[in-house]
A and B are shown apart, each in its own frame.
Chain A
């Protein structure tokens, strides 16, 4: 069965701290896709990154970085030097074929 686990329900940090959001997935397929989305307090869902199962290369985009490890079925997201504007709910998602499974989300609160 496919499953996405975001074990951290809520994380609170002080501005400029680094924070890592964990995502662990389960699948029997060899071809799949992993995504991260951000949902700020305004409610919209914003795409952050996509990774396919054959590309384990880590990625850095500004203060954001992602670590994909197939050996541990994890796709973790790190924010460096967090800012108040990073406060949001972050969702990890697994895509297989035409279906998608989202994790329950991690609420990140960045305090000034």
Chain B
């Protein structure tokens, strides 16, 4: 089954404790992206990747890192999480940047 998976689905952590949210797709898609969804703000793009080893910042990249060492994986790293990073995070992939995106199920992160 074609899908985008994210882990964990739920995470509660404390300020400053490094964490990684994994994202994997099995569709051989070139383009991958991370978004955060906050009430009343819609989805905002954090980072995206055009291909392996090629990434760039979206609208809200502060406090996040990404890497794309393999085509299928695009982890999101929070080196020192803060409470303002409490949010619902979505990973997405698409065949190309101008095609429709397939979204993962979301990761709900709470930073206390």
List residues of chain A with CB under 8 Å of any chain B CB: 6, 33, 35, 37, 43-45, 47, 50, 52, 91, 93, 95, 97-105
Dominant secondary structure of chain B at its interface with chain A: strand
**In the complex, chain B residues whose CB is within 8 Å of the CB of A43:** 88, 105-106
Say yes or no: B100 contacts A47, CB within 8 Å. Answer: yes
Known A-B contacts: A45-B92, A100-B58. Give 18 more (CB < 8 A): A35-B101, A37-B103, A43-B88, A45-B90, A45-B103, A47-B102, A50-B99, A50-B100, A91-B42, A91-B43, A93-B43, A98-B31, A100-B48, A101-B45, A101-B59, A102-B35, A102-B42, A102-B45
Say yes or no: B97 contacts A95, CB within 8 Å. Answer: yes
Chain B: number of interface residues, binned into ranges: 20 to 34
Query: What is the bound-complex CA distance between A35 and B48, given in angstroms?
Result: 17
Dominant secondary structure of chain A at its interface with chain B: strand
**In the complex, chain A residues whose CB is within 8 Å of the CB of B102:** 47
Given contacts A98-B56, A100-B33, A104-B40, contact A52 B98 (CB under 8 A): yes
